Amino acid sequence: MTLRRLIGLAIILFISISLPQSVNAHAALVKATPAPNSHLTTAPKAVTLLFNERISDDLYKLEVYDSNGNPVTSANAGLGKKHRQLRLDLPKLQNGLYTVSYKIVSADGHPVAASYTFTVGKPVTVDREEPLLSAKNEPDHSHGNLAADLVRILEYLALLLTTGWVFWGAVFRSNDPAVQERYTAVLKFLKSVFLFLLTGWTFVKLSELIGELGTAKTPAVLTSTVGTSLVGSLILALVSFWIVGRSRWLDFVWIALLLFAEARNGHAAAFSPVPLSILSDVVHLFAASIWTGGLLYVFYFWKTDKAHAKRFLPKFSNTAFACLLILIVSGTLSTWIYLPSLNEIFYTAWGKWLLAKCLVILGVILTGFLIRKAMRNHDEEAVGRRVKTDFVLMLLIIVIVGIFTSLNPVPNNEPLTWHTSGKELAATTYITPKQPGTGNQVIVKIDTPTKPNHVSIELDYLDKNDFAPIHIELHQVGKKNGNFVFENEQISIPFTGKWQIKLKLLDAKDNETVWKKSFRVYKQ
């Protein structure tokens, strides 16, 4: 692939993040008690919410409102020991409709907000054609903001380039005053750019969290894992103008602290075991910074002092190969920690971007091999071209990794909405929340002039050929605008994996119509 084509691919990637993207909520709701849309004969003593990721300390709200919109209690919710469960104790509730509303921030710094309803006593009569719950657990903010995404990508690039440049300055110092002067000038520029971009990203992130949770939560935001990581990074970026370059051990300590702060502000902080997850991410970041900073070192000095670059290149080539091995091992370990099952990498945008990153890394390995071959052949022109190619590939990887930060590694079980039609009738089927276990609700809306004689569904587990289908009867709950509405409020989806729903309908003349739809249920 030529350098021109690589630059074109980089432009396409940058354009792609400017297009509208679906929001990928973090810390998805796994189980709610009482369940969404449930009808309870006795009042619950508490509301309990279980999430699939860790929740940040003090960065959460859980409230229950009556039908007049008033909170039923002034008590505060409590966070479970594993930081995945919220519980709010309730007073004695009267019969009626209640709304559960929650706002949380996952440990990796992503705000999530959603609401649902439940009924105590006699069910509330509602003319409904679809579920009352929007169970997607979507944040009520936009994740697809181009400016914020671009600041994050550039800040991440500046972090790796700055720490990598400091590393190589510590281990490959030159006694040539001209070389040292050029190195120092670039270092000052990188530190200034990094501080500027980090300040912008910190402002964007803290404003987002405070705006989501309210100004009363400002102290909690600043003292949370996310807040302390961002503020700590800012302090390290500021003191770098005085401490970096004074001694090797101080440079290495500064790099380690900065990368540790970065790891605590990302996906690694949201998955257990947290110490192993963060350690793997720090190692990954350190290897990436050595490789990234080394590429910049070669690229810069190849233009300004080719003799120095040629002396540096053999050392960097061997180190870069070791760094790539470390990146592969640590990246695989992190993926294993993040995902409930490795095959789920194919079902999320995060996983697809990860696969794209792996393809680019293959290009990096091939380019590194070609650079070493050109070095053995003393072909300086080929070395220069391939170093440029390697540099562009590095930029592509940084763009992809920057996109990672706004995507959820874990596939979420989102409600199923399925519309199908025939010659004289149409049907829309909803399954919510479409989670493994009990408490799922099915609503089927039939668009037909005459009432169907019978409506039912079957669930086939496609991952086992010998699994008998689960038969579920539906009962009519209403009619609106010629549409007959059928439901079953307590269906079970016993296993994760690939399922097929069969909607079976007998019309007024007992003619049978069968529709099929496949869907997947993920482990939470």
Q: Nearest 5°: phi and psi at 296?
A: -65, -40
What pLDDT is attached to residue 524? 66
Q: CA torsion angle for 261, 263, 266, 267 (degrees, to 10)?
A: -150
Q: Which residues pair with 185 in a beta bridge?
A: none
pLDDT digits (tens, 9 = 90+) for 281-301: 999 999 999 999 999 999 899
Closest alpha carbon to 129 in 479, 514, 497: 479
Write the CA distances from 296 to 111, 257, 420, integer angstroms.
Answer: 35, 22, 55
Q: Which of 106, 111, 116 is nearest to 138 (CA)?
A: 111
- Could you give the angle at the alpha carbon of 408 between the alpha carbons of 521 and 60, nearest 5°? 100
**Strand spans (E) along 399-448:** 416-421, 426-432, 437-447
Please report the pLDDT score of residue 123 as a whole number.
55
Per-residue confidence (pLDDT) for residue 90, from 0 to 100: 93
pTM: 0.76
Cα distances (Å, whole numbers) of residue 279 to 32, 261, 269, 332: 32, 11, 10, 13
Query: CA 231, 155, 209: angle at the middle one, nearest 5?
Result: 50
Pairing of strands 497-506, 512-521: antiparallel
What pLDDT is attached to residue 129? Answer: 44
Residue 164's SS3 state is: helix
Report pLDDT for 18: 40
Q: What is the pLDDT of residue 140?
A: 40
Q: Is the dihedral of CA 334, 338, 342, 343 positive or negative?
A: negative
Rounded CA-CA distance 133/34 in Å is: 13
Q: How far apart are CA 521 and CA 313, in angstroms?
A: 50
Q: Which regions of the chain are under pLDDT 50? A: 1, 3, 6-25, 125-144
